[in-house]
Amino acid sequence: SVGVTAYYVFGTCVLIWFASLGLALIFNAPLPAKNVLRTIYFIPAIVPVVVYAIIWLFLFHPYGLLNVALHAIGLPAVQWLSDTRAVLPGFILSSLWRFAPYFMIIYLAGLQSIPLEYYEAAAIDGATGAHAFRFVTLPLLRPTILLVVVVSIILMSKVFTNVLIITGGGPAGATRVLSLFIYQTGFQYFKMGLASAASMFLLFGTMTFTLLQLRLFREDARG
């Protein structure tokens, strides 16, 4: 379960970090009807968990939209919920759809807090868009990046309801993340000692990242 959780957390968080930042940069640009598009894209983040799970159960169905799309481009269908090699990547994809809009809004708030004068000064100095992003945007966005990194790791490490509804930890334990392992061990198999030990492991892991976040923010405030 620890290995499955690490795989899920790493895969989901890395995709979220880059996808949400890229989307924030797009929606921060002067686009037509960007407020409407931003609102539409944010909808997955506010959809109830049960509705989200039902949507992805339909998408993961052998005749669902994901396999229809694969067939349209000439690729074979994937058994998303019964193939042990495909189920966790598929679940990571569903988590990206749900959580990337949430972190996009956080990145967007950070981008809009950067004064335009810095970009104007960079343009006067002849900086290209890539140079402005590297030497202006990224340094000033550092507190936001730290927030996104730590919060996303904490959220993904505690994932439970999504896995319980969509896969139930299967097939063959391929999606049995630590929180689901704790639930099944304690309340289905009644091994309370093992469940308590796993709970403490998850608690200390979450506390570690929380304390790390506080320390990084203090150092950033001093710097």
Cβ–Cβ < 8 Å for 211, 191: no
The token pair that represents 222 in the structure block = 């001093």
Task: Take residue 169 and report the two structure tokens written for it.
Answer: 């930890």
Domain holding 112, by residue range, is 2-222
Q: What is the pTM of this model?
A: 0.89
Which of these, 219, 202, 104, lies nearest to 152 by C-alpha position?
A: 104
- 64 is written with which tokens? 């669902």
CATH code of the domain covering residue 122:
1.10.3720.10
pLDDT at 223: 60
SS3 45: helix
Ordered DSSP codes for 26-71 = HHHS--TTHHHHHHHHHHHHHS-HHHHHHHHHHHHSTTSHHHHHHH
Q: What is the pLDDT of residue 58?
A: 93
Radius of gyration, alpha carbons of the chain: 20
Q: Determine the Cα–Cα distance for residues 41 and 44; give it in Å rounded to an integer.
A: 7
Angle, helices 178-187 vs 192-222, to 10°: value is 150
How many domains does one find in the chain?
A: 1
Return the H-helix or E-strand segment holding 77: none
Give the C-alpha separation, 122 to 41, whole Å.
Answer: 31
What single-letter amino acid sits at 52? Y
pLDDT tens per residue across all 223 residues of the chain:
889 999 999 999 999 999 999 999 999 988 888 888 888 889 999 999 889 999 999 999 999 999 999 999 999 999 999 999 999 999 999 999 999 999 999 999 999 999 989 998 989 988 888 899 999 999 999 889 988 998 899 899 989 988 998 988 888 889 999 999 999 999 988 899 999 999 999 888 888 878 887 787 777 666 6
Question: What is the structure's pLDDT at 216?
Answer: 75
Give the pLDDT score at 29: 86
